[in-house]
Amino acid sequence: MKKSKIGKTLPVPGVLQDAGDSLEPFGAVSAQALNLANHFLIAMPSMQDPIFGGTVVYVCEHNENGVLGVVINKPTDMTMHTLFERIDLKVEDGLEGHDDEPIMFGGPVQDDRGFVLHTPGPRYSSSLTVTKDIAFTTSIDVLEAVAAGDGPSRMLVSIGYSGWSPGQLEEEIGRNGWLTVGADPEILFSLPIEERYTAAMRLLGIDPLMLTSEAGHA
């Protein structure tokens, strides 16, 4: 795993850089457009891709520029404690309960930088509010808040994120590469990592053991 280089502001397309910015939902561009923000992408069992096979991806943003998401069930060998050491961030009492939590492999894009999915709270300098329950932050101030004992109540930290160019994910879904379902914050933040894939499948009423490569998307 590369050494984390979390910057003060990370250049992630579409993420708000200040409170005055706004995002136009992709659904406003075209009535027929597919908007999968706040959805899980569930890799079909037939997917043999070494990066995405067996994964669940939380989609943070889907617009005319493409799709941005984070893999939520592929842990690295790095823990929160290790990450804080690598970025030279002094910890007070903020890591209580988080110290041994693994950092996720969020995807192959910018895989030397950190990204945080978390419950909303104070405004951070580079942050996107996905829903009332989930925000996505790319600036180090969220981890500084954690170190100070004033961070989000629930969070998932990843190295790297997943990205698709315009139309790419829709094509993959059309080829039955992914199932899609509305996301559940409990799966994202609370469920043990090894149970997230099966739990996401069950949101669709599907037993993964019974699924074939012929299934479509929701």
- The answer regarding whether domain 35-210 maps to CATH 3.40.1740.10 reads yes
pTM above 0.85, yes or no: no
Q: For the chain, which ranges sit under pLDDT 50? A: 1-32, 213-218
**What are the pLDDT digits (tens) for 138-179?**
999 999 998 888 889 899 999 999 999 999 999 999 999 999
Q: Is 174 left (phi over 0), alpha (psi -120 to 50) or beta?
A: alpha
Q: Looking at residue 66, what is its pLDDT? A: 95
Domain boundaries, the chain: 35-210
Looking at 28-154, which runs of residues are DSSP E strands? 39-43, 56-63, 66-71, 75-79, 102-105, 109-118, 127-129, 135-137
